[in-house]
Structure 1
Amino acid sequence: MKKDFNKTIKNVKKNVVEYVLTNRLFISYCILALIATICIRKFTINSVFRIKPLITDLGLILLIGSFGYFVKPKNQFKYYFTWLIIINLACLISSIYYRFFTSFASIGELATVGQTETVTGSIFDRLKIYDFIYIIIPIIFYLIHKKLLSSVYYSFIDKIEKSKKMFIATFCVGIVFVGYSLGVAKNSDYSRLAKQWNRLYIVERFGIIMYQVNDFVQYLTPQISSLFGQEKATELFNDYFNTKEKTKENKYTGVLTGKNIVFVHMESMQSFLMNLSFNGKDVTPNLKKLAKEGMHFTNFYPQVSTGTSSDTEFTLLTGLMPASSGTVFVSYYDRNYFTIPKYLASRGYETFSMHGNLSSMWNRNKAHPSLGYNSMYFGDVFDYTDKDVINLGINDSLFFKEAIPMLENIEKNNTNYMGTVITLSNHSPFKLASMHSNLDLTSHYEVTNDSGITQTLEKDYLSSTSVGEYIKSANYADNALGDFISYIKNSNYFNNTVFVFYGDHDAKLSRNEINYLYNLNPETGGVYKKGDKNYVLYDYYEHELNKKTPLIIWSKNKELQSIFKGEVTYTMGMYNVAATILNMYGIYNKYNVGEDIFTVKDNNLVIYPNGNILTNKVYYNNSTNEYKELTDEKIDKEYLDNIKSIAEKRLDVSNAIIVYNLLENKKMNGE
């Protein structure tokens, strides 16, 4: 028996050696592709040693590679090299993309690259040295090919390779690996695959290749929506809205009837800036003043996906969530939506939008008319030169200065109006706008020498960091905003107008970048670590909660000032704005998923596109199924299950409205 065993081992060893020697190109492809998939998980979600995504990625690599056996050996390099390029390019794009959005890239969003507000400099700012591994891997494969080409490998393999047999064997092994991964998956795993909105979890559980395959399927689904899913989406829609209760009236119902309204969209402006000062100077003194003079919503959270600014515009105007794949402004702009501009236009209001960039950016030249804007004032109507440009268009100071006479002219020629003024300068890369701020970020600290003498020293490490540049950029934007408010106050117009100022989304800085603000060691330029006496906890939850932005309703009209004053502390999302504002006009829109904040109050849920949930009691992380309690009240399973159920229904019905155009034959409900 021992002799038979040794013989078996010897035969296995011989077969393995023979397989390796006769499949060197294929094995090289598999190893290099697998390295790329491991790297993307390491560099993003820091998940390296989980066996399930590893098995799934390897299984799919084998399945893809098995078809290479149908290609003649001398041409197999082209097949495998092409797939290595695709896999590594997907990893590279997702790696950079992750640093902007803490998510993974989608095919539907890559199709909109030309529309995005991310400039080249901003992309290069986010490149890391380890990203080049995705370029090095295909080069290594090419060098292996050249080495094999210089030998007799290809001609030898051409004579002995049994293509069909190798295909079947490799394909079957791949099926076993993928089948195992899917076989041990839970129902919740399949649900997340089907919905695709928890991308981090999908990559962590199934690997990057399965994510990309699933994303491609999700991308194709709406393209054939008339053949697939329409009936189910309609049923979901009817079930949701047939049971939805009409919003009750509250003390703000109708207070804006006959009043004009202008939304001021403040690029990347976060609330924490309002509490910062350096060397006796506030970072955002004008925003702080506005908050004191108007109604300030202190717990307001954007709900953006990868459409960033365009997602905010859409969600604010409609009360719907962003699309689960792609962006509404590019992929679904031609649907019918019930919006603030449309409701007010039906009451005789002139509706308009203003932006210092090209109207083609984010496809606004098509999306804005679809959302109900009658007139658009974009970069081509402003008078400026190249020296007036910061980031993507005219600088905020000049933009506001030139916008004032346009706004006055609109008021002069219309009984009522509603518009959105979109700022631009406080956009990444923040270094460009930061150079126009004279805010001093120098830190002062005391040191005691060996003689016991204490000295006060100063250093400025912060200005050269990402968060330092963001702070100075926001300071510049705030200065421009202050000039705009002065123009408004000194104008003979706008006495019947309310202004709604809102931050469109966070700065998209990583937790490590923001942590530098809270844990900077002014003496060394490093950061305090846990255990240091000056250390400030800034964990995942602190970072997520820190993403809130300002929302302020303000007017120079004394009567309106008496209505819109004080702090509103309810936890509020961007999708609550439409219902809240429309109620102030006495208008009810049934077909949204956000509620009037003054009706729902402390029972509100802020739902994020990735399935995370925020209430006044808890922040729930959908990716890890963990949560942080925000009060002393203990959260039980029943509470979590309830809010998760509500969140899932709202995300599903909102996406169904978008993808399947379910409002096409509905009438606006202006009750």
Structure 2
Amino acid sequence: MKNLFKRIHQSVNTKLGFFMLTVILCWIKTYLICLTKFNLGIKSVMQAFLLFLNPIPTTILLLGISLYMKGRKSYIYMMIIDAITSTWLFANILYYREFSDFLTLTLIKGSSSASNNLGTSILGIILPTDFLAFSDVAILIILLIIKFIKLDKTKLNFKIPLTITGIAVVSFGINLTLAQQDRSGLLTRTFDNNYIVKYLGLNAYSVYDTIKAAKTSAVKANADSSDMKTVKKYINNNYVAPNVQYTGVAKGKNVFVIHLESFQQFLIDFKWDGQEVTPNLNKIYHEQNTLSFDNFFNQVGQGKTADAEMMMENSLFGLPEGAAMVTDGTSNTFQAAPAILDQHGYTTASFHGDVPSFWNRDNTYKSWGYDYFFSSNYYKQKKSYNIGYGMKDKIFMKDTANYIQKLPQPFYSKIITVTNHYPYLLDKKNQSIAKTDTGDSTVDGYVQTAHYLDQSVGEFMNWLKATGLDKNSMVVFYGDHYGISGNHKKAVAKLLGKKKFNDFDNAQFQRVPFMIHMKGIQGGINHTYGGEIDALPTILNLLGVNNKDNIQFGSDLLAPNHPQLVAFRDGDFVSPEFTKVNGAYYYTKNGTPAKNLSKDQHSRLETMSNQVATELSLSDKIITGDLLRFYNPKGFQKVNKKDYNYSKSKSLQKLKDQDKKDQTSLEFKNNNKSLLNLYDTDAPELQN
């Protein structure tokens, strides 16, 4: 044993030996992290083997470059590369924990648009074991400092590093071949980054992502009008006529779209400790003048809230990586809800209690045709007014009412709440319900912020009633995405009183509220399956706006022939009969694996999978190729971004001038007197 240790010690004191030690440590560390920190869905012996194998090729290739160098430069380069890849691994651990996905170049390029207020979130999700990502670097540095390992300045024969590079290339080729055999079309037909990491490793995924980002840039430069013809043909062939019974029932009415941040459907009627978590939304949900949908799903990808906004206002899917609002919101041509309704006589405005650059809204909203964007610059700011990702909802919604009363009617307004956002922080004076007791810190505060959001909604709805706005307004509520990710299965199972919570359950857990509330509407709970992609066609039909010439991938949820196929961003789907999760099929009603299928069932599943893949692909082409610049729907005037300016002084003057001209705002009709005195809130920060 002593001789063996001596031989190992002598070996690592050579440049080649140190290289091998670095590779082995990096490989073991990466494998353990991929196995324990990421939910990659290993379902076969081959997949398990490839996960074990895939760190080796890129590690050998990257670290092997150092062997071409002389002296201490070789060691310095090796340590720098190890440190960089370790930092990249660490960053992905944190990102994956919250978003169940991996970082992309596109996302990083747009990170400044979503980086505000992230400090608290990052600190809240770091675990001590995450620093395992730097374990090999620490070990090697210590061994070098104590001189257990001495630098070998001998120059290697050129054939040695060349051979090692060759080994890396060949081993990657073997890895890729085995991966392609187990998952055909891995690099050409995938909507899920987990597959790439599972089969090829995190470093290979990073290279793949970089190449794909470069190709996307080239696609936009090379796109032409012929690409739009393919899209238009598909849209025409799959057009679903809206429900004529509901066509125009809200024509001329104001529209409130209330964005319920991270709010999931299970919260409706959910009680904790004998108390309703969301009593106000529960009441609205069950009222006869509310159209409520209990099988409405979020369909977001990496863009989360940005993806939800893209679907809600454009009926276009988010991109497979990054957020389209960030990557394409400034430059692309859109035919979004604000522009459509503006051209039908509506004043359009969005309200958000955080900085205007968040998700690039200050630029994207110009492309979408918003007349006004009221961001944090428009609101009175105090430290106690803010928490997490912006203003507390009660304060934000009261201050929003001040601008609402100044908008010329009819108006289309989107109100984006933020308090019910991870990490679900709420100061004690605003807590009015106990935390849950799952033992998961991410999950247990969720009911407190959801309850606070519900109270905020109740106060706002009371103000609408007090001012009479409720009589001539349609209020749309929607949850943008999940609040609790699939990485908290044990806690969710305990929260819901289930014995287990598997991937199928998580797919069903993606339901979010979608409610349309309006005086006189024929409401009730609708069980049709749909998602955020269907919101815009549904709203437009209610407002009496024909969308037949528009490029929209959703359809009216109330239409008799509405296709009840809900596409998820990774290519999975859910329908009343079948659910597809990670390539496996289940019966939606009971969650059992769909086995022994008939020929007809096989055919239907293939048709559904192809339809989902086609729609995701065509939607991606529209955004990445900026194809809407080649299409002018009948009666629609292209948005000129230069017509919009969201600076506070210019916007408020424009609003004043418009109100004086139109004389239709709530405040104008009240003899130019504010009705904010009718807004009743119990926000402790606003009490005298």
User: Please, what TM-score do these two structures have when normalized by structure 1?
Assistant: 0.85
Note closer, same or farther for the CA distance 1:278–1:193 as it changes in structure 2 (3 Å cut): same
Which residue of structure 2 lines up, in the alignment, with residue 663 of structure 1?
Answer: 628
Show the 5 A alignment for 1:105-124: 105-116=103-114, 119-124=118-123
The alpha-carbon deviation at position 39 of structure 1 amounts to 2.6
Is residue 591 of structure 1 aligned with residue 580 of structure 2?
Answer: no
- The CA distance in 2 between the partners of 1:248 and 1:149, in whole Å, is 75
The partner residue of 1:29 within 22, 43, 47 is 22
- The CA distance in 2 between the partners of 1:19 and 1:429, in whole Å, is 45
- Per-residue displacement from partner, 1:208-255 (whole Å, max 9, x unpaired)? 222111111112222223566769955753553464446355322222
Secondary structure of the equivalent of 2:281? helix
Is residue 51 of structure 1 aligned with residue 49 of structure 2?
Answer: yes
Which residue of structure 2 lines up, in the alignment, with residue 519 of structure 1?
Answer: 494
- The CA distance in 2 between the partners of 1:650 and 1:383, in whole Å, is 43
- The CA distance in 1 between the partners of 2:338 and 2:29, in whole Å, is 47
Show the 5 A alignment for 1:374-453: 374-410=371-407, 414-432=408-426, 436-440=430-434
Note closer, same or farther for the CA distance 1:50–1:383 as it changes in structure 2 (3 Å cut): same
- The CA distance in 1 between the partners of 2:322 and 2:189, in whole Å, is 13
- The CA distance in 2 between the partners of 1:399 and 1:318, in whole Å, is 26
Secondary structure of the equivalent of 2:478? strand
Say whether the 8 Å CA contact 1:307–1:327 is kept in structure 2.
yes
Secondary structure of the equivalent of 1:648? helix
Say whether the 8 Å CA contact 1:108–1:326 is kept in structure 2.
yes
Secondary structure of the equivalent of 1:538? coil
Say whether the 8 Å CA contact 1:196–1:215 is kept in structure 2.
no
Amino acid of the structure 2 residue aligned with 1:260: N
Comparing 113-122 with 345-354, which one deviates more in the overlay? 113-122
Is residue 129 of structure 1 aligned with residue 89 of structure 2?
Answer: no
- The CA distance in 2 between the partners of 1:246 and 1:627, in whole Å, is 27
- Per-residue displacement from partner, 1:574-598 (whole Å, max 9, x unpaired)? 0011111122223214312212222
Which residue of structure 1 lines up, in the alignment, with residue 579 of structure 2?
Answer: 619
The alpha-carbon deviation at position 418 of structure 1 amounts to 0.8
Comparing 323-332 with 596-605, which one deviates more in the overlay? 596-605
Say whether the 8 Å CA contact 1:434–1:469 is kept in structure 2.
no
The partner residue of 1:39 within 27, 32, 36 is 32
- The CA distance in 2 between the partners of 1:246 and 1:481, in whole Å, is 33
The partner residue of 1:646 within 608, 611, 623 is 611
Structure 1, unmatched stretches of 5+, are: 1-13, 442-459, 521-526, 528-533
Amino acid of the structure 2 residue aligned with 1:94: N
The alpha-carbon deviation at position 499 of structure 1 amounts to 0.7
Say whether the 8 Å CA contact 2:11–2:17 is kept in structure 1.
no
Say whether the 8 Å CA contact 1:302–1:312 is kept in structure 2.
yes
The alpha-carbon deviation at position 102 of structure 1 amounts to 1.3
Say whether the 8 Å CA contact 1:463–1:469 is kept in structure 2.
no
Amino acid of the structure 2 residue aligned with 1:630: K
Provide the aligned length of Structure 1 versus Structure 2.
613
- The CA distance in 1 between the partners of 2:54 and 2:192, in whole Å, is 18
Which residue of structure 2 lines up, in the alignment, with residue 552 of structure 1?
Answer: 515
The partner residue of 1:82 within 53, 62, 80 is 80
Amino acid of the structure 2 residue aligned with 1:119: L
The alpha-carbon deviation at position 29 of structure 1 amounts to 2.5
The partner residue of 1:327 within 323, 329, 332 is 323
Secondary structure of the equivalent of 2:186? helix
Which residue of structure 2 lines up, in the alignment, with residue 6 of structure 1?
Answer: none
- The CA distance in 2 between the partners of 1:15 and 1:486, in whole Å, is 76
- The CA distance in 2 between the partners of 1:317 and 1:363, in whole Å, is 15
- The CA distance in 1 between the partners of 2:377 and 2:609, in whole Å, is 46
Which residue of structure 2 lines up, in the alignment, with residue 4 of structure 1?
Answer: none
Say whether the 8 Å CA contact 2:179–2:186 is kept in structure 1.
no
The partner residue of 1:572 within 520, 530, 550 is 530
Structure 2, unmatched stretches of 5+, are: 1-6, 637-688
- The CA distance in 2 between the partners of 1:322 and 1:576, in whole Å, is 14
Say whether the 8 Å CA contact 1:25–1:145 is kept in structure 2.
no
The alpha-carbon deviation at position 118 of structure 1 amounts to 6.0
- The CA distance in 1 between the partners of 2:223 and 2:93, in whole Å, is 32
Which residue of structure 2 lines up, in the alignment, with residue 251 of structure 1?
Answer: 245
Say whether the 8 Å CA contact 2:293–2:513 is kept in structure 1.
yes
Which residue of structure 2 lines up, in the alignment, with residue 93 of structure 1?
Answer: 91
Secondary structure of the equivalent of 1:262? strand
Note closer, same or farther for the CA distance 1:538–1:50 as it changes in structure 2 (3 Å cut): closer
Note closer, same or farther for the CA distance 1:314–1:602 as it changes in structure 2 (3 Å cut): closer
The alpha-carbon deviation at position 20 of structure 1 amounts to 8.6
The alpha-carbon deviation at position 491 of structure 1 amounts to 0.7
The alpha-carbon deviation at position 154 of structure 1 amounts to 2.0
Amino acid of the structure 2 residue aligned with 1:625: A
Amino acid of the structure 2 residue aligned with 1:121: T
- The CA distance in 1 between the partners of 2:492 and 2:305, in whole Å, is 25
The alpha-carbon deviation at position 269 of structure 1 amounts to 1.1
The alpha-carbon deviation at position 419 of structure 1 amounts to 1.3
Identity of counterpart residues, as a percentage?
Answer: 22
Which residue of structure 2 lines up, in the alignment, with residue 7 of structure 1?
Answer: none
- The CA distance in 2 between the partners of 1:486 and 1:515, in whole Å, is 38
Say whether the 8 Å CA contact 1:196–1:324 is kept in structure 2.
no
Secondary structure of the equivalent of 2:54? helix
Say whether the 8 Å CA contact 1:359–1:365 is kept in structure 2.
yes
Note closer, same or farther for the CA distance 1:216–1:147 as it changes in structure 2 (3 Å cut): farther
Is residue 348 of structure 1 aligned with residue 363 of structure 2?
Answer: no
Which residue of structure 1 lines up, in the alignment, with residue 462 of structure 2?
Answer: 486
Which residue of structure 2 lines up, in the alignment, with residue 170 of structure 1?
Answer: 164
Secondary structure of the equivalent of 2:619? helix
User: Please, what TM-score do these two structures have when normalized by structure 2?
Assistant: 0.83
Say whether the 8 Å CA contact 2:223–2:627 is kept in structure 1.
no
Secondary structure of the equivalent of 1:667? coil
The alpha-carbon deviation at position 308 of structure 1 amounts to 1.3
Say whether the 8 Å CA contact 1:425–1:433 is kept in structure 2.
no
- The CA distance in 2 between the partners of 1:71 and 1:234, in whole Å, is 52
Is residue 506 of structure 1 aligned with residue 482 of structure 2?
Answer: yes
The alpha-carbon deviation at position 55 of structure 1 amounts to 3.0
Is residue 305 of structure 1 aligned with residue 301 of structure 2?
Answer: yes
Secondary structure of the equivalent of 1:500? strand
Which residue of structure 2 lines up, in the alignment, with residue 466 of structure 1?
Answer: 442
Note closer, same or farther for the CA distance 1:279–1:519 as it changes in structure 2 (3 Å cut): closer
Say whether the 8 Å CA contact 2:104–2:322 is kept in structure 1.
yes
Note closer, same or farther for the CA distance 1:329–1:184 as it changes in structure 2 (3 Å cut): same
Say whether the 8 Å CA contact 1:344–1:418 is kept in structure 2.
yes
Which residue of structure 2 lines up, in the alignment, with residue 538 of structure 1?
Answer: 501
Comparing 57-66 with 594-603, which one deviates more in the overlay? 594-603
- The CA distance in 1 between the partners of 2:579 and 2:572, in whole Å, is 8
- The CA distance in 2 between the partners of 1:406 and 1:266, in whole Å, is 20
Note closer, same or farther for the CA distance 1:547–1:29 as it changes in structure 2 (3 Å cut): same
Say whether the 8 Å CA contact 1:570–1:601 is kept in structure 2.
no
The alpha-carbon deviation at position 38 of structure 1 amounts to 0.5
- The CA distance in 2 between the partners of 1:57 and 1:329, in whole Å, is 33
- The CA distance in 1 between the partners of 2:229 and 2:83, in whole Å, is 42
Which residue of structure 2 lines up, in the alignment, with residue 138 of structure 1?
Answer: 137
- The CA distance in 1 between the partners of 2:401 and 2:545, in whole Å, is 29
Note closer, same or farther for the CA distance 1:483–1:18 as it changes in structure 2 (3 Å cut): closer
Amino acid of the structure 2 residue aligned with 1:399: F
- The CA distance in 2 between the partners of 1:276 and 1:209, in whole Å, is 43
